[in-house]
Amino acid sequence: MAAAQPLLEVRDLKVHFFTREGVVRAVDGVDYSVNRAETLGIVGESGSGKTVSSLAMLRLVPPPARTVAGQILFDGEDLLTRTPKQMAALRGRHISMIFQNPATSLNPIYSIGAQLTEILTWHEKASRRDAEARAIELLGLVGISDPATRLRQYPHELSGGMRQRIGIARALLCNPSLVLADEPTTALDVTIQAQILELLAELQARFRMSMVLVTHDMGVVARMATRITVMYAGRVCETADAATIFNAPQHPYTRALLESMPRIDHSYAGPARRVLPSIPGRPPNLLNPPSGCRFHDRCPEAQAECRCLLPVETAVAPGHTVSCLRRGSPGIAA
C-alpha cells in the first residue's frame, strides 16, 4: 500500500496575486498529496491560501492571480504542463469541485436539469434522454426527493441545503476520481451542515473517490478527513493522519488552533469560567509576509532563528511532517 502512487501530488506550488500594491504570495511553496479513496482535510484561517490552492488544481485561478511555480501531479502527470484543451477535458470529468456558496454557484437562469445534463452531454456525448436519466439518478443519490420534478425547477426555488446537494450531484455526474470540496458547509445552517457532511462521507466511501476538503472548521475535518494538512499564510505547517493531528500535534500553530476550539466539557461562563484561548495577533499580510517562519510573530515558542530562517517541511514520524525549526526542521535563509 505504501508503495502505491498517490492520486494527487502537489509539489512546491506557488500561486501569487499580481496586484497594483505588489505581489501577494497567497500560496507560497505548498506540498501535499492525496491517496486514492482518502479524504485530505486542508485547514487554515481565512486568507491562508486554501481556496486559491484548490482552484489551482483545476488551473482556474482568477486574474490577477497566477500559478507561478510547482507541480500538480494527477495520476503521475503534471497538470501544469497540459494544454488548455486537455485541461478542460479533465475538469468535471476526472477532477471536479464543490463550491462554498450554493446560492451563487448555480446559474440562476437555467433549470437544474439544463445545468446538469449540459455537463453530461458535453463530456460523455450522452443523449438528452440518457443525460436526464443519469441526472435523476444522481439527484436521488444526493438525497433529493422527487428528482424528476426538481430537474425542471430553478435554483431560486430550492433551499440552501438542497442547492448544495445539487452542487454535489453536479460534481459527481461523471464519476470523478478526485473531488475538491471548498468549504462545502460554511454557508449552510448547522443542522444542514451535519447532513451534508454525512452525505459527502457516504458518497466518498461508496464511489471510492479521493476528496480534498478545504475548511477553516476543525470540527469538520475531525469527522471527515483521513489525513489533515494545516496551512498558515500560504504555507503548510503540518501534515499527518487525523488522529495524530488531534492527539499529538507538533506545530505550535496546530496546537494553538486546537486550543482555541471551544469544548463542550468546559464552562465558559460563571465564576469559575475559563477563557477560550485565542491566537494573539492577526494573520499576516501576504503582501509583506513576516521574515523567516511565517508564524514567528504569533508563536509562543519563537526564538531568534525563527525570525530569519524559513523552516522546511520534515518528517518527524512516518506520515507526519512538520515545518518548524523548534521541531528539528532545517531552515533556509529567507
Partner 1 sequence: MGTARYIVRRLIFSAFLIIGVSIILFAMINAIGNPIEILLAERPGITDEIIESITQYYGLGGSVTDRYFTWLGAIIRFDFGTSIIYNLPVSEMLLTYGLETLKIQIPAILIALLVSVLISVLAATRQYSRIDFGVIAGAMVGHSLPGFLLGILLILLFSYWLGVLPSYGAYSTRNLLMDSMVIDGLWHMVLPVAMLAFFNTATLTLLLRASLVDVLRQDFITAARASGLPERRVVFGHALRNAFIPVLTYLGILFGLMLGTAPVTETVFTWPGLGALYIMAIQQLDYPLIMGATMIITFMLVTATLLTDIAYVIIDPRIRLA
Residues within the interface to partner 1 (CB under 8 A): 55, 58, 60, 62-63, 88-93, 96-97, 99-101, 104-111, 118-119, 122-123, 154, 156, 167, 170
Nearest CB to partner 1, comparing residues 122 and 246: 122
Residue 194 CB, shortest distance to partner 1, in Å, is 23
Give how far Cα 199 sits from Cα of 136, 157, 169, 196, 209, Å.
17, 22, 11, 5, 13
| Min CB(238)–partner 1 separation in Å | 28
Provide the 3-class DSSP secondary structure of residue 130.
helix
Q: Which is nearer to partner 1, 60 or 243 (CB)?
A: 60
Shortest CB 330 distance to partner 1, Å: 37
How many DSSP H helices and E strands does the chain contain?
Answer: 10, 14
Q: 168 or 299, CB closer to partner 1?
A: 168
| Nearer to partner 1 among residue 120 and residue 228 (C-beta) | 120
Q: Least distance to partner 1 from the beta carbon of 187, Å?
A: 11
Q: How much of the chain is helix, strand and coil, in % rounded to 5?
A: 35, 25, 40
- Tell the smallest beta-carbon distance from residue 18 to partner 1 (Å): 11
Return the exposure string of 133-142: e unless at least 16 CB atoms fall within 10 Å of the residue's CB, then b: ebbbebbebb
At closest approach, how far in Å is the CB of 21 from partner 1?
A: 15
Burial of 206 (0-12, 13-18, 19+ CB in 10 A): exposed
Q: Which of 304, 317, 263 is nearest to 325 (CA)?
A: 304
Amino acid, single-letter form, for residue 283: P
Report the SS3 class of residue 215.
Answer: strand
The least distance separating partner 1 from the CB of residue 34, rounded to whole angstroms, comes to 17
| Closer residue to partner 1 (CB): 106 or 256 | 106
Side chain identity at 305, as an amino acid letter?
A: E
Nearer to partner 1, 147 or 155 (CB): 155
* Closest to partner 1 by CB, 138 or 245: 138
Amino acid (1-letter code) at residue 81: T
CB of 8 to partner 1, least distance (A): 15
Q: Residue 283 is placed in which grid cell?
A: 494573520
Shorter beta-carbon distance to partner 1: residue 167 or 252: 167
Q: How far is the CB of 106 from partner 1 (least distance, A)?
A: 6
* Nearest Cα residue to 227 out of 36, 3, 28, 19: 36
d(CA 176, CA 171): 8
**Whole-number Å distance between alpha carbons of 296 and 92:** 40
- d(Cα 239, Cα 313) in Å, to the nearest integer? 9
Residue labelled with grid coordinates 480534498: 212
**CA atoms of 229 and 236, how far apart (whole Å):** 7
Closer CB to partner 1, 69 or 88, in the complex: 88
Rounded to 5 degrees, φ, ψ at 232 are -145, 125
User: Of 303, 101, 70, nearest to 183 (Cα)?
Assistant: 101
